[in-house]
Amino acid sequence: MLAAPTRHETMARLTALGAVAVVRLNDADAALRAAGAVHAGGVSAIEVTLTTPGALEVIRALSAHAGMLVGAGSVLDGEAAREAIAAGARYLVSPVLLPQLVPLAHEAEVAVMLGAFSPTEILAAHRAGADAVKVFPSDALGPSFIRGVLGPMPFLKLIPTGGVTPENAGDWLRAGAAAVGLGGALVDAGRVAAGDWDALTERARAVVASIAAARGGAR
């Protein structure tokens, strides 16, 4: 049996992939199918939000899939963090600034991304030891905000979530984001309800192409 990756290895792979699929659905089976569909399209970092019914079982099941990098989202307290880690999550994502999650996750060699909105919150998350900062909700900010924050603080690893689409994912990376998070723009509830898994796979391929184009050219 292979040893679990360290949190640094987890973050290196996540940033190399460049995109995280945020799976927030109302059905555990649909979440499993959606995760498989976007993975088939090349988006292999899967964040299962704890608001999804049966989220821990979904995380446990996906963690057994070779090639997937599975984490837990919407982590709001220590108990939820512990349960997600026990289920196999290799990274934790919170929408808000909760420094207490950092030592808990790092003790288990699990990466943690704390949520922040303002430059002050972003720096506080970094200084608390977050492996990356989830800039959320980034649809209210735009890629220029990422570029602006990184000007005086280039050491930050920022992962904007909200407002990121397959079409504009590359814009955020060109602005300096370490990776991006995509929720409904990728894991579309309408397509999931219709069972159109091929559409999700195609959307994932568009994300991968956008990221490759951004990283292949100069900023």
Bridge-based pairing state of the strands 132-135 and 91-93: unpaired
Q: What mean pLDDT value characterizes the chain? A: 96
**Each residue's pLDDT tens digit, 47-98:** 999 999 999 999 999 999 989 999 999 999 999 999 999 999 999 999 999 9
Answer whether residue 217 shows pLDDT above 70: no
Using CA atoms, how far apart are residues 119 and 116, in angstroms rounded to an integer?
8
Using CA atoms, how far apart are residues 193 and 176, in angstroms rounded to an integer?
35
Question: Dihedral (C-alpha) 197, 215, 137, 34: value to the nearest 10 degrees?
Answer: 10
Indicate which residues carry an active-site annotation.
47, 134
Q: What is the per-residue pLDDT for 219?
A: 38
Q: What is the per-residue pLDDT for 12?
A: 98
Sign of CA dihedral 22, 69, 135, 165: negative
**Each residue's pLDDT tens digit, 18-33:** 999 999 999 999 999 9
Answer whether residue 218 shows pLDDT above 80: no
Using CA atoms, how far apart are residues 78 and 73, in angstroms rounded to an integer?
13
Using CA atoms, how far apart are residues 201 and 176, in angstroms rounded to an integer?
26
Q: Looking at residue 129, what DSSP letter applies?
A: T
On the 0-12 / 13-18 / 19+ scale of CB atoms within 10 A, 107 is: exposed
Enumerate the H helices of the chain as residue ranges. 7-17, 28-40, 55-63, 78-87, 101-107, 119-127, 143-150, 169-174, 189-193, 197-216
Q: What is the per-residue pLDDT for 3?
A: 76
Q: What is the per-residue pLDDT for 4?
A: 84
Cα 16 to chain centroid distance, Å, stands at 12
Q: Binning pLDDT at 50, 70 and 90, where does residue 1 land?
A: low
Query: What mean pLDDT comes out for the span 172-189?
Result: 97
Using CA atoms, how far apart are residues 137 and 147, in angstroms rounded to an integer?
16
Whether residue 42 contacts residue 67, with contact meaning beta carbons closer than 8 Å, is answered with no
Q: What is the per-residue pLDDT for 66?
A: 85
Query: What mean pLDDT comes out for the span 122-151?
Result: 97
pTM, entire model: 0.95
Answer whether residue 2 shows pLDDT above 70: no
What domains can be seen in the chain, in order of their start residue? 7-212 (3.20.20.70)
